[in-house]
């Protein structure tokens, strides 16, 4: 190999690339450091391990990509960037274990669209295996796309100026998305897309920008979407297909340009609880062709329509919510909701127009206690938005 230093023994080989790489297949145990320039397909062999050491900078030039099948990639404190717009994936992995920690990705787009029915592109594609990304920053990148992944952790990452979509999951299980920040850009279409995803958690993430924040589609089931915040999205949470047995709990959707929660269609036994939609320009929640949807202990306020239910909805339970100051809510609908023990009154947040959704309390100098304070009463006198607050009665 030209321009390579190979140290053989029981240690990893260390590959130093002062210029463009000329190697198609790596050694079984390879470590990169320094600056690595890639201008053709680099293959990690079956059973091989590619370690990218702290401080390494990997630059993709025209024709550059990394391919791995039945191998391992482990990158810590490394940087990845591209100086051209590839029509392929920069990373293609199958049945492999991938770990990125505290890494930086820049300008990794547009990437490849894998399916004719979905034109969103991805710079990273993995089929089977495991995937972990923690503490990373991605700027102007297309999607990370994971398919048939049994275990993945995406935690404490920043996705900035997203190209089309940030994350795509298809037919995955045990996904954990925790404390990430997603910021849409001018070329974003949506931020998080989950298709046929089971038993996964989307918790304490923040979404910014006028695109869909979360899309949950087809036969996704047993997922928990908890305590996420969505600011100025087009739609906060979009559900379509036969998704069932999913929990949407404690989410804040602030001033979406369309709807806060959009259940175009869904399977049975989805639960929306303890959520707030404030200032939606269309619907706080739209309920289309659904079965046995439960909406409770939530707030739909300052929207065009608070709760918009189509004739195709069957056996929906809407109870113990607050509906307040929605422009187009009809009196007949309001009275019907009131009879279902929903409250038609001001939720008394501290300063919701400026994003402060703390509750007014007499003990903090306010004239009244918010009706959201208590644990939730069957008679409809409070809805108990925050379970940590005990009864004041």
Are residue 240 and residue 162 in the same domain, yes or no? no
Whether residue 231 lies inside any domain: the answer is: yes
Instruction: Identify whether 121 is part of a domain.
Output: yes
pLDDT level of residue 312 (50, 70, 90 thresholds): confident
| Number of folded domains that form the chain | 2
- Considering 162, 181, 200, which residue would you say is the last residue of a domain? 181
Residues 82 and 174 occupy one common structural domain: yes
Indicate if 246 and 168 belong to the same structural domain: no
361 and 228 assigned to the same domain: yes
237 and 127 in a single domain? The answer is no
The string of pLDDT tens digits covering residues 109-122 is: 999 998 877 889 99
Mean pLDDT within 207-214: 98
| Domain stops at, among 129, 164, 181 | 181
Residues 152 and 264 in one domain: no
Structural domain containing residue 105 = 33-181
Q: Same structural domain for residues 257 and 366?
A: yes
**Amino acid 267: pLDDT:** 85
Q: Residue 60 — very low, low, confident or very high, per pLDDT cuts 50/70/90?
A: very high
Residue 23 is predicted with a pLDDT of 54
Average pLDDT, the chain: 89
Asked whether residue 3 is domain-assigned, the answer is no
| Residue 386 scores a pLDDT above 80 | no
Percent share of the chain, pLDDT over 90: 74
Band (333; pLDDT cuts 50, 70, 90): confident
- In this prediction, residue 171 carries a pLDDT of 97
**Range with lowest mean pLDDT among 206-220, 268-282, 324-338:** 324-338
Evaluate whether residue 8 is within a structural domain: no
Residues 105 and 214 in one domain: no
pLDDT value, residue 355: 86
pLDDT tens per residue, range 65-99: 999 999 999 999 999 999 999 999 999 999 999 99
Same domain? 145 vs 70: yes
For residue 201, being part of any structural domain is answered with: no
Position 218 in a domain: yes
Q: What is the pLDDT of residues 166-183, one digit of tens each?
A: 999 999 999 999 999 999
Q: What's the pLDDT band for 43 if we cut at 50, 70, 90?
A: very high
Indicate the burial class of 262 (C-beta count within 10 angstroms; 0-12, 13-18, 19 or more): buried
161 and 281, same domain (yes or no): no
pTM, whole model, 2 decimals?
0.89
In this structure, the answer to whether residues 168 and 96 fall within a common structural domain is yes
Which of 37-46, 127-136, 228-237, 373-382 bottoms out in mean pLDDT, i.e. has the lowest?
373-382
Q: Do residues 146 and 217 share a domain?
A: no
Question: Within a domain: residue 193?
Answer: no
Please determine, for residue 11, whether its predicted confidence score (pLDDT) is greater than 60: no
Q: Is residue 220 domain-resident?
A: yes
């Amino acid at each position: 190999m030209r321009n390579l230093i190979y140290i053989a023994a029981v240690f990893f080989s260390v590959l130093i690339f002062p210029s463009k790489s000329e190697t198609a297949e790596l050694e079984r145990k390879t470590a990169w450091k320094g600056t690595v320039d890639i201008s053709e397909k680099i293959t990690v062999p079956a059973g091989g391990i590619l370690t990218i050491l702290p401080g390494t900078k990997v630059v993709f030039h025209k024709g550059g990509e990394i391919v791995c099948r039945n191998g391992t990639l482990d990158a810590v404190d490394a940087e990845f960037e591209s100086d051209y717009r590839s029509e392929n994936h920069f990373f293609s992995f199958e049945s492999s274990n991938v770990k990125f920690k505290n890494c930086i990705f820049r300008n990794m787009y547009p990437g490849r669209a894998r399916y004719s029915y979905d034109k969103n592109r991805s710079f990273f594609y993995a089929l089977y295996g495991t995937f972990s990304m923690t503490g990373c920053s991605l700027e102007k990148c297309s999607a990370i796309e994971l398919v048939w992944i049994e275990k993945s952790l995406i935690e404490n990452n920043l996705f900035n100026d997203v190209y089309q979509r940030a994350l795509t999951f298809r037919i995955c299980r045990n996904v954990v998305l925790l404390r990430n920040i997603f910021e849409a850009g001018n070329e974003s279409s949506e931020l998080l897309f989950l298709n046929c995803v089971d038993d996964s958690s989307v918790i304490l993430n923040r979404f910014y920008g006028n695109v869909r924040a979360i899309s949950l589609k087809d036969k996704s089931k047993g997922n928990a979407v908890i305590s996420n915040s969505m600011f100025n999205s087009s739609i906060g949470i979009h559900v379509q297909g036969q998704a069932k047995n999913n929990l949407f709990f404690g989410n804040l959707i602030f001033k979406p340009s369309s709807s806060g929660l959009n259940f175009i269609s869904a399977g049975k036994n989805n639960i929306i609880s303890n959520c707030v939609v404030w200032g939606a320009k269309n619907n706080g929640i739209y309920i289309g062709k659904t079965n046995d949807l439960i909406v409770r202990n939530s707030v739909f306020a300052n929207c065009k329509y608070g709760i918009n239910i189509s004739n195709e909805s069957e056996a929906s339970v809407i109870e113990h919510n607050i509906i307040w100051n929605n422009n187009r809510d009809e009196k007949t609908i309001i009275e019907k909701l009131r009879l279902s023990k929903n409250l038609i009154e001001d939720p008394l947040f501290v300063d919701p127009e400026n994003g402060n959704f703390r509750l007014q309390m007499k003990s903090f100098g306010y004239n009244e206690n918010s009706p959201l304070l208590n644990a939730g009463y069957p008679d409809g006198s409070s809805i108990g938005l925050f379970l940590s607050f005990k009864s004041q009665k």
